[in-house]
Amino acid sequence: DSVGKDTFEKSLGCLARRGMMVLYGQSSGPVPPVDPQVLNAKGSLFLTRPTLHHHIHTREELLARAGDVLSWVRSGALRLRIDRDFPLAHAADAHRLSQPPEGGKF
């Protein structure tokens, strides 16, 4: 769930028994504190809120994870789609295109 507060309950309700929910954003605001008994009552659910920093805390972790991603790109398992590129002098144009309604991914 990348939205947070507005969709949390509905997203949690979509999970099967022993399902896992990953909160990775909060565009609608942070999710209020969760009573662990709710996870139990809904079927022994798992809930996690990962943060990139915790996965690349050391240089070794950063290099290992970057190495994984780069090897996927090299092998073709992960394909990057680059729609266009901008010279640094036009960084403001690139930023503008990342905003709604265009809303690209960078």
pLDDT at 92: 94
DSSP 13-81: HTPPTT-EEE----TT-PPPP--HHHHHHTTS-EEE---HHHHS-SHHHHHHHHHHHHHHHHHTSS---
Which helix (H) or strand (E) covers residue 94, if one does? helix 91-97
The SS3 of residue 11 is helix
Angle at 70 between CA 23 and CA 63, to 5 degrees: 75
| Tens-digit pLDDT profile for residues 48-86 | 999 999 999 999 999 999 999 999 999 999 998 888 899
pLDDT at 50: 94
pTM of the model: 0.64
Domain ranges of the chain: 8-50, 53-97
